[in-house]
Amino acid sequence: MHLIFMGPPGAGKGTQAQLLSALWKIPHISTGDILRACVVAKTDLGQKAQSYMDRGELVPDELLMDIVQERMNQSDARAGWILDGFPRTVAQAAFFDKLLCEVGGGVSSSGKDCDLRAVNLDVPDNILVARLLSRGRQDDNEETIRRRLQVYREQTEPLIEFYRNREQLVAVDGDRAMESVTAQLQQALSGDS
């Protein structure tokens, strides 16, 4: 199973990806977690990424692509994965197609005849802001959150149409109890497991 979890910041992508990763015994690959670890460790990548993250902007494609490629080449990702936080633009999705062919993810470059599914968790903005403020992360103040939502709408939302056109989109209402969202995801994806 190869899943991409999409949705605005605070939609519950990470939470749902962790739950399903444990249930289906496939790795949850979070580019956000990897980036935050790099920032804490003060790696070169972390220092480069920090300035973008502090402004609520997306980390440049080149940095994310290097991270994703390195992670997809690890042995635990061969049987399947849940990717959270990448791709975030149509350009990244096109790169990702090429990468999947190279690492043998069971996906053709055209996206046909593959088990890739893009799961979109949809949540209203006012709920997202409240959720993100309650997390208490240093980078989650209201101004930065609203900027991140604006960036998401401009740069990431076009992916919904990209994957819908390829008949790979699974849309889920993320504005419900966590258990209810998990159950809906399991039902929607059960034919793919």
Q: Tens digit of pLDDT for each residue in 99-129?
A: 777 765 554 444 444 578 999 999 999 999 9
For residues 169 and 120, give the distance between their C-alpha atoms in angstroms, rounded to a whole number: 7
148 is catalytic: yes
pTM of full prediction above 0.95: no
Q: What is the pLDDT of residue 184?
A: 95
15 marked as binding residue: yes
Residues of the chain falling short of pLDDT 50 = 107-113, 192-193
What is the structure's pLDDT at 113?
42
Among residues 119, 100, 103, 122, which one has the least CA distance to residue 111?
A: 100
Catalytic residue list contains 13: yes
Q: Which residues contact 99 (CB under 8 A, 6 or more apart)?
A: 65, 68, 69, 72, 105
What stretch of H or E contains 164? helix 158-165
pLDDT of residue 191: 62
pLDDT at residue 109, as a whole number: 44
Active site residue 166: no
pLDDT of 114 reads 57
The verdict on whether 147 is a catalytic residue reads no
Residue 148 known to bind ligand:
yes
